[in-house]
Chain A
Amino acid sequence: MARRELISGPNFSGRSGALMALLHDRTFAPESFYIGPYSEAALSGLSSTIADEIELYGAMATSFRRVPFSLLDVAAFSAREPQTLSGGEQVLLALHCFSLSGYEALAIDTALEQLDQANRDAALDYLDPRRKLVESVALIDNRLPPPVRGWTCRERSADTIDFACDPRRAVADLPRHQAPAIAIRGLGFAYRQGKEIFHAVDLALAGGAAYRLAGPNGAGKTTLLKLLVGVLAPGAGELKLGGEPYRPWRQGNRAIALATQNPDHQWCGATLRDDLARRRSAFARWVDPGLLADARMEALAAALGIHSLDARLYELPLAARKRLSWLWPLSGALPWVMFDEPSIGQDFDTRAQLAAAIGRLTALGYGVLFVTHDDDFASRIPHHVLVIGERQVKALPSPSGLQPPAASRDPRE
């Protein structure tokens, strides 16, 4: 019998534990396919190429066949390593593999939050019990508030909230700042043996403003952030920071605090203290030491739910690591802050508080660039929209160019 289980509730209310308990309940399904929030929990890790990942799961199916879920251009990507796909594309690949496999049930832990709206709608439609394409599904999704038609909703609650956080407190005492403008001229970039992502892109980003990078999964949003912090080097074009040439890939990043989509892509130490010490040492020449003092960092960490700088980063729960990944941008140490999908895996209250904190950074004069597929989250931050597509980055034409903050409405109501 087809089952649909939506597990909802705030972070740290035991949603993931409840999901796992359900998967070990043989009345739900003998075995389930699991798509977790990041690549190590979405992909098998046993495949060197995307074709292998598909073959691995496809070969597992013997007589079982269902309608394939095929939103990813598998033929174009088949020789690439699965890890080189964007987060959203990895989720699409995992859904494709599930659809070819013999697993009767599918479990998804917040992974659909990485999909753009069109892909997300298609995925939810595929899982819709009325379509009868998938037998049983268990889902955690912060952007799908219950009740949902056809789904059994299991609401979790927490008596005491571990890792309670309020990002607004982290930026409450920040001084004003004047972020220098970023100018991009003729930017070109292509991955080795891959398609061209950017071609002759011209873009001007002013300090004291927030920009939302929008575009479909795999368009190049994260790639643009990596170019700006110097993780990637452009094939053509130049960057200017405050009117001066800026080559972070050669000189090192000195202006941008990045919170990565997967928080584990940003730690440079085993403990928070190690991590901060290394950042402090790298940016000593450009940052006011008072902003990076231990006492202030401890207070910032506490505002994000972590009460000791000696916390071992890799031993914290994923949602707590995600929150802690905002610490460096919210510290105000660097004039530009960039957030890659900051709201993934976060409950409604935390998303709203983070949006308020980002809005305050903008008001204080910091430059903000953020990537999100969460329209509700974005609507809470006054921002300009930059759309990536067809190798270009275009400012969305609108009368004012600025998206006003939406009236704060809880979609759960």
Chain B
Amino acid sequence: MTPNGAFTLGFILIALGMAVPGPRGEAVLLVLTLAFAAIEVRGASLIALRRAAVVVLPLAAFMGVVWVGIVGESPYQIAAESAGTRAAALAYVATLCGRLFFIVAVIQLVFLRFAKLTPLQIIRALALPATVKRVLVITLSLIGTLRHAIDRAHIALIAAGTLTRSPSLRNIIHSWRLIQAVWLSAITIMVGRMRDKWPVENTIARLDDTLANANPAWFSGDDRIWLPLSLGAAVVILVADRIGGAL
């Protein structure tokens, strides 16, 4: 399977999840997703589920407190000005968070399918214009720069006695100093890179050559099985709950 095929499949799965199919459609969608996980990602699928849980559970807990605990009715009931129930609020939170869990898990599954490839190798393998690939590389670079700046700012503020490594009240009080230090560090890193390293090496032009030389095929190998299968499943998913007991 190519990264192009996996990303296309991931896009189809997420789009179908967002299309809010009925219970039958959701069952078919789930089977398709589980088949992709079991065949293409295998054991690493558990990592995808764990990461999705880490992202969604805090939000679910917060929404549960707000909608079920405090408001006590679902937004649909509020809009309809009908009598609200906590059960309806719980169903609303579960549906929303379940959908988010599905989306995050699919994104993770797609990336874990290529866990053995480095980010640059994945980007080079994508059948996209060189400009788009360059934007992807530079976006990853910016994320890396910010992470590096956070690390620097932590070192500075912990060594200076302002913050502690472990969670503390001091960290909350001085969090704005951390933010300031992160931005100053990020700017310094970028300026250092753009003033000396990149102009001397003509790095960005060289990067363009590197990305343009890859010339990947759009789809190949298992893509030719997964993509028709997912498109066929999409039709089934979208119509399954509209034709009564046909399925």
Q: Given A34-B197, A45-B193, does the pair A55, B118 have CB atoms closer than 8 Å?
A: yes
Taking the nearest CB of chain B, how far is it from the CB of A54, in angstroms? Answer: 10
B196 located at the interface, meaning its Cβ lies under 8 Å from any Cβ of chain A in the complex: yes
Contact A52 B118 (CB under 8 A): yes
Chain B residue at minimum C-beta to C-beta distance from A247: B166
Assess whether A253 is interfacial by the CB under 8 Å rule.
yes
For B119, the chain A residues whose CB sits under 8 A away are 48-49, 52
Count CB-based A-B contacts (< 8 Å).
164
B222 interfacial contact with A, CB 8 Å: no
B121 and A55 contacting across the interface, CB-CB below 8 Å: yes
Q: A83-B151, A250-B166 are in contact. Are A44 and B203 (CB under 8 A)?
A: yes
Q: Does A298 belong to the interface (CB within 8 Å)?
A: no
Interface string of B134-174 (1 = CB under 8 A from A): 00011011001101100110111111111111101010000
> Which bucket holds chain B's interface residue count?
35 or more
Q: Is B184's beta carbon under 8 Å from chain A?
A: yes
**Is residue A251 contacting chain B, with contact meaning CB distance below 8 A?**
yes
A229 within 8 A of B: yes
B201 within 8 Å of A (CB atoms): yes
Task: Select one of A39, A251, A270, A282 contacting B184, CB under 8 A.
Answer: A270
Known: A40-B192, A56-B210. A45 touches B197 (CB 8 A): yes
The digit string for A1-43, where 1 denotes a CB below 8 A from any CB of B, is 0000000000000000000100100000001111010111111
Chain A count of residues within 8 A CB distance of the other chain: 63
* CB pair B192 A229 closer than 8 Å: no
- For B229, what are the chain A residues with a Cβ–Cβ distance below 8 Å? none
CB distance from B137 to the nearest CB of A (A): 6
- Please name all residues of chain A whose beta carbon is closer than 8 Å to the beta carbon of B177 when the two chains form the complex: 268, 278
Which listed residue, A52, A79, A269, A275, touches B120 by the CB 8 Å rule? A52
Q: Is the CB of B161 within 8 A of A233?
A: no
Closest to A31 in B: B202
Q: By the criterion CB–CB under 8 Å, are A278 and B162 in contact? A: yes
Candidates A32, A55, A250, A268; contact of B160 at CB < 8 Å: A268
11 CB-based A-B contacts, threshold 8 Å: A41-B193, A45-B193, A48-B118, A49-B119, A60-B210, A231-B159, A249-B166, A253-B158, A260-B155, A282-B161, A314-B187
Known: A254-B161, A256-B159, A314-B184. 8 other contacts (CB 8 A): A33-B201, A46-B137, A55-B118, A79-B118, A231-B155, A260-B155, A269-B181, A270-B180
